[in-house]
Structure 1
Amino acid sequence: MAGGNAIRGTRVGAGPMGEVERGEAAPRNRIPFWCANRHETRVAFASEADVPELWDCPRCGLPAGQDQQNPPPAPRSEPYKTHLAYVRERRSDADGDALLEEALTRLHQRRSV
């Protein structure tokens, strides 16, 4: 005996999805991009869309361009700077010695009281 549910195995909104219900797909162009690691990525853009100059490579994350022979270079990564490195950029050694001497003098005064 068959079950009483006629729409068994389907979900709300399910049905044949074709050109009739969705409409026609926009014409597209597949544009190739290459990164510095020589990975090729083909991205589909609508024919009327402006194609960007750079695209992020999905494999390695480097910027990719449309010229296979001259892909964009990898961005330079700056090394991590410590707090002390930033302080040394702003102050000279003489300023640092003066501040250290001042701090030590105050510390000695507090301990002697």
Structure 2
Amino acid sequence: MSTATLEHFRTVLEEQRAELVQQQKNHELTLAEVRVARDGETDDEHDPEGPTIASEWSRLTGLQEEAARQLTVLDKALARVDDRSFGICARCGNPIGRARLDARPSAELCIDCARLAETRR
């Protein structure tokens, strides 16, 4: 893969990473607000107007966990850019199609190997 193409994908991956980091910060601020509400004397379990503190806590921690998983995926993709193995299928060693990389820049499997992995699940 050309240096220009690698740099293009580095930029895309870094932008996605920065967006995820910002989302994590926003979720952490909201979690802090939920902690304050949880520690207060608020009885939200009977509030018909919105989610309970427990459900909001669960939702936000789930989002945080998913963001952490996605950051790991992005960091691995950036490492592949650094070692120039980006765009090469980790399973079969064939090139990953540009269309697939444009749609899913963090992909480490070509479309055929990805389909195979899905059918084995």
TM-score by length of 1: 0.20
Q: Which has the larger radius of gyration?
A: 1
Greater strand proportion = 1
Higher relative contact order (CA 8 A, sep 6+): 2
